[in-house]
Every structure is written in structure tokens, then in C-alpha cells.
Structure 1
């Protein structure tokens, strides 16, 4: 089993964006030493509790502070941007850090309608253009040595950033399969859609320049601790954070487990938390091993991209260390 990391640079209550970003870079160094396969950073906008708004900038910083772990985006919100400029950004990164850059892309609109218009400078772009944008991105990344393209994305380098499609449904899996792109399924967003999406991807994959065979991983919330009680206690912060995000609350900072345990919850809140727990695996090493092994068979993949949003950085590091110790 290969393990990877997705980090959203979430700001803990009472802390700062500086600390969140510093912790993200430190986590990359730690997980590299632990043997993790890749380290991706997210892109979020207009959310005061999430410092990760520019994956390209953060990727460069992290790659400079690490030696061999693959570093990438999870993911660039392509509908808001020019595929040409995205290709340029990541080809520069690949030239700086050869064979280490992953270009994860997603179809998400990036937030509220107002946020999306701010990203597109007021241009109302259709999400239906996403398949065409992905094809254009492929064209610019791969290049064409026969001079058929009127515009080339530079710099040209012997290695290429690897494109990954991030999806939470059958639709994303279908596009990734048709275009021959590696695929990440967001179990941490939509756990009920995964089996159908992954089955379709493997069955209908069309080889491209890279990869020439299906390549996929699963992104999931994981909190691992020495005891079930400790893991559950840490998870209360994630429960309340997801609840706040789901309600569209302005403050998206992650609160401490002590604060979370004192919150008065409505029946609707408790129902939402129960539903959200489907997006997570929480417990000891034994439970995590059992559940990830089950999901590995269900999804047909040998790589999990782990997202651990807890209040205290040391608890986060401990969770990743315990996870790395598991014999799958």
C-alpha cells in the first residue's frame, strides 16, 4: 500500500496563516522521511480558515524544502483559469524539480458565485467547457515537436508534470478515462459515488502519452491515534469544522477538541456529523489497517491520499507517523 498526503493548510483557532503554511511545509518534510509517495496542497478561496489559496506558490516552496517526494496540487480549479497559463506554471515547476511535480486539476467552481467571478475577473465562464480545457491543458503540457501548435507552453523540458484528474463522481472518472489521465477519487467529499466511478475508470481507460495504463488513488480523511478514545476525541475538531463549512459559516478555522466537545448540537447537526463520518476513517492502527484494506479492494487501488485535519500539529504528525507504521 502506498500512502500520500493532501494538506489544506487549515488554520487552527487562535493561530495564524503563517503558522498553518509553515506547518504544511514541515509536514511535507516529515512525511517524506516516513516514506510517503506524494504530497499535495489544496486550493480554496474566500475561506478565512484555510491558508492554501495558491498551490503553485506553495508547491515551489515545499519542493525546495524536500528532496524526492512528489509534490503537487489537489487541485488547481481549472474552470477559472487559462489552460495555457496553468501549463506554463507547472512546466516551470517541473523544470525546477524534474520528475517530482503532479498537476492535479478539478472542475470545482471555487466557491460562491461572487468568489468565482472574482477569480475569472468578472467573466462568466461555463463549467461545460471543462472537458475542452483539459484537452487544451494536455496539449500544452505534452507539446508538439512537429510545429502543429501555434502556441507552445515553455519551458520545454525532458520530463513532464503528471496530470491527475480529481473527481467525486462518475462524470469525472469518465473524462479521466477518455483522455488517459491519472484519477483521484475524493472519498473525503462523496464516499457513496466511489465504486461506480472507479470501476468505470479502470474499464474504459484509454492510454495516452502518460500514463499508458490506469493510475488512481483515493483521497480520504484519516485520524489515527494510540487508542480509539484519543482518535475520537481528536476527530471532534474535524466534525465541527466540516459542520461549519457545510453551513457556509464565515469562520472556517478548526477549533480544539475541548471547544468542540462543549458545543451544543441540534438534531440536524448530529445527523450531519453522522453522515460526514462516512468520509473518514478514525481509530487505532488496527482499525485503520482493516478499513483501508477493505477500501483498497473495493476501489481497486493501492494508494491512499490521506487528509488529516486536526487542531494540534503534533497530533497531526503523530497520526501520519502511526499510519506509516501499519503493515498492510
Structure 2
């Protein structure tokens, strides 16, 4: 059966890392994020998520829960959440209290997406976790269940409580780029989001494993999959491809372990990478849909006909804010 690209059948959402441009600042990027959130809310997008990263030049979303409050406070109906909070970096109790607070302030609009990666380099992870680096990711399932329990209604035997947080209905998602979180999300009956915008390798196998092993729960009766993909839409294929070079430069910097501010687009990437680097960047950005409305629509249709995805989360690291708004406006029209 064909999978039509319509807002009724395939919801669109946004993942934002609050990228800082070479001629910008963190404060300007945060204001741009709020402006984008206000626009996509009016264009009918389902949710607006922010991602936790640390010690990465060019990414200003480290204090993720603070930014969630900023975005939620400047919008009125779009769901706002984390894509995600890296749970091994935090106490489950603190996360429950933070998101309980957000839910009290913006009831019915807050979502908690959780990951188990550090969102940074090993040295920074050590600083975040105060030396508990090796055990943190192994303890993710235990910490996740502890966190979920803090949101449960009170019990007489409960000695430690999240206040606020206890008894609140805060949707929890598991995020992943491998098989681990897919299987855990299926076991616990949680919605699952895959980071195919930068880690495409296991998308199909992870989605299939999640669907095949899903256990209905009080959180979710049927499996629900969201895939994050790169979308660069413009009024012409040529302009979209040019805008896309900013994220290609970012990916190249990650491969070289040289994180920089978001670079302006260029007309030609051939002088910036060698053939091996070009291959590596294109593999990393495999699930990218770049072009005018017809090209992007065709690409997304092919993607959705091949892989079972209930929702698309768009990632668009576009240098110019007006061009970024236009990209999301075009996507909303598909």
C-alpha cells in the first residue's frame, strides 16, 4: 500500500540542536529557535524537540530542559520535548523533577525523549558523570525504570518521590541509533524514535525489531515509530543542494574531529573533502531529502513505502534563518 505524504497520515515534527552560525551567537540561535517553533506551530507540526549535547562548538542546546521551557513559554499548543535527554548524565530523580515542573507549567505539552549516549566526548562525559563513566550506560534500563516509577501515582511504601512529577502523565520516548533502545522500547511498550539523520545504518533492522517485539503497555497500545531525517527544501533543487552544504561541512568536521560553528553554504564541496571523506559524509547523511517540494515529496514517499514510520522528525541545519523557515514551510505543504 502506498504511504501518502499528508499531514493527516504522516505527521511532521522538528528536531533542533540550536546551531550557532559563524556570524551568530548562542542567544541569537535561541531566539531563532523560538521563532521557528512559533512558525511550525502555525504550520501544523506536531512537536518541537531539543537535543542534549555538551562541549560541542556550534551547538547551544546543552541546558535542554531550560530551552524546553523557553520554547514552550513562547508557543501555545505544539508539544515540546527532548530529543533527547541523555539519561546516564543525570539522576533519574532530577530529570523527573525537571520535567514534572515543565508539565505543571505547560500541561499536556511536555514530552521526555531519552537516550543512553553521552552526547559528547569521553572527557566531557567524565565531567558530567563525576567519574562514573563505565557503568552509566549499562545501568540505563534500571535508571529508566526508576524514572518511569517517579511518574507513577504515589504508593504508601514509596520513600523517595518526585515533587512535582509524581502522578503526572508525561509521555516518555526512547531514542536510539542501534538495536539496543529498539528492543528496550518494545519490551516496555514505549514509543521509539530513531536517529537516522546521522546514524542510518541500523534504521531498518531497529524498526523491524521494535515492531516485531512490541508489548502493549499502559503507555502505548500499539507501536509507534518516528524517524529523524535531514530535510533541506527550497524553491529549486539547486538552491536546496547549496543549503545542504552547511550540514555536509558539519559532518565533515565531525569525521575529522574538528567541531566548528555552522558554516555558510558553498557552491562546490569538491575542494573541501577528498573522495574517502565524501563517501563517509554521504553515508552518514544517507537519509537526507534535498530539493524543491516535488523532489522532497518524491524522496519521502519512497522512504515511507520502504520503512514503516509513523512520523517524520525533520532536522534542518540551514545557515540562513529565513531559508530555514522556508524549508519547513515547504515541508508543511506536502
User: How far did residue 125 of structure 1 move?
Assistant: 4.6
CA change 1:261–1:200 in 2 (3 A) is closer
Aligned partner of 2:280 in structure 1 is: 272
Which shifted more, 143-152 or 33-42? 143-152
Is 1:198 matched up with 2:207?
yes
Aligned partner of 2:52 in structure 1 is: 43
Aligned partner of 1:305 in structure 2 is: 313
Is 1:108 matched up with 2:120?
no
User: How far did residue 109 of structure 1 move?
Assistant: 2.0
Is 1:132 matched up with 2:142?
yes
For 1:191, what is the secondary structure of its paired residue? Answer: coil
Extract unaligned runs of 5+ from structure 1.
none
User: How far did residue 263 of structure 1 move?
Assistant: 4.6
8 Å Cα contact 2:150/2:165 also seen in 1: no
For 2:235, what is the secondary structure of its paired residue? Answer: coil
CA change 1:260–1:109 in 2 (3 A) is farther
Could you list the per-position Cα deviations for residues 73-97 of structure 1 after superposition, in whole angstroms to 9, with x for gaps in the alignment? 0100101111111011101111111
CA change 1:159–1:298 in 2 (3 A) is farther
Aligned partner of 1:282 in structure 2 is: 290
Could you list the per-position Cα deviations for residues 160-192 of structure 1 after superposition, in whole angstroms to 9, with x for gaps in the alignment? 211010011121100001111110011112223
User: 1 or 2, which has the higher helix percentage?
Assistant: 1
User: How far did residue 277 of structure 1 move?
Assistant: 3.5
Q: TM (normalized to structure 2)?
A: 0.92
Which shifted more, 276-285 or 310-319? 276-285
CA change 1:292–1:262 in 2 (3 A) is closer
User: How far did residue 247 of structure 1 move?
Assistant: 1.6
* 1:59-70 alignment, distance < 5 Å: 59-70=68-79
User: How far did residue 262 of structure 1 move?
Assistant: 8.1
Could you list the per-position Cα deviations for residues 108-139 of structure 1 after superposition, in whole angstroms to 9, with x for gaps in the alignment? 12322210011112333511111111111111
Equivalenced residue count is 324
User: How far did residue 261 of structure 1 move?
Assistant: 4.6
Aligned partner of 2:190 in structure 1 is: 181
8 Å Cα contact 1:237/1:260 also seen in 2: no
User: How far did residue 147 of structure 1 move?
Assistant: 2.2
* 1:253-272 alignment, distance < 5 Å: 253-258=261-266, 261=269, 263-272=271-280
**In 1, Cα distance between equivalents of 2:316 and 2:165:** 36
CA change 1:140–1:13 in 2 (3 A) is same
Extract unaligned runs of 5+ from structure 2.
1-9
